[in-house]
Amino acid sequence: MNFCGPYDKKLAEQYQPVLHTPIAAGWEFRQKPLLLAGSAGWRSLAKLQDWALTASVRHELLSDKWTIVITDQHQIIQYVNPHFEKMTGYSNYEAIGRRPSFLQSEETSKLSRLRIRQAIEQQKSVSELMLNFRKDQTPYWCQVTIRPISNRQKEVVNYIAFEQEVPFDESSLS
């Protein structure tokens, strides 16, 4: 190593153990999806994945009433619309590349999670009422409808979650 002086050498020695520590968790190496914004974002994803959208799903995607989360077939978030940040407090930068389960906690119904997992494994649509948590950890109830999206070759390539916050009832937590 070339050093400019004793100060640089001292810093290098101080951080030498860090330089040799391998990163071994695995998720650091997963390629982060492209950041897709606005309706152009989901349209780019649809074009890239060659979606075969029904008219009703296209209409819902264009609607302004839903929070939309699009994941790949491994449930990694590829796209969220601007309503996502309003509802959860997480920006699209913080959400893309993660699984939607990061919004859940131990208080989220295990039965609802199981039904969603089974529907995804069977590549079927599912609708559930979920207790999620915002970035500031305040709870909110969310009606979630998840639909598989197939490409023109009839292969499921993505899942779209249409979400809508419902009034919160604290007595339902007990």
Measure the CA–CA gap between 57 and 147, rounded to whole angstroms.
9
pLDDT score recorded for residue 11: 53
Measure the CA–CA gap between 173 and 138, rounded to whole angstroms.
13
pLDDT score recorded for residue 18: 45
Sequence-distant contacts of 62-66: CB under 8 A, at least 24 apart: 65/164, 66/162, 66/163, 66/164
Longest dimension (CA), the chain: 68
Measure the CA–CA gap between 127 and 135, rounded to whole angstroms.
23
Each residue's pLDDT, cut to its tens digit, for the chain (174 residues) gives 455 555 555 555 555 544 444 444 444 445 555 555 555 677 787 888 788 888 888 888 888 889 999 999 999 999 999 999 999 999 988 999 999 999 998 888 999 999 999 999 999 999 999 999 999 999 999 999 999 999 999 999 999 999 999 986 665 554
pLDDT score recorded for residue 34: 54
Strand-pair partners of 99: none
Residue range 33-167 in CATH 3.30.450.20: yes
pLDDT score recorded for residue 45: 79
- The answer to whether 101 and 77 are in contact (CB under 8 A) is no
pLDDT score recorded for residue 10: 57
Q: Where are the domains of the chain?
A: 33-167
pLDDT score recorded for residue 9: 57
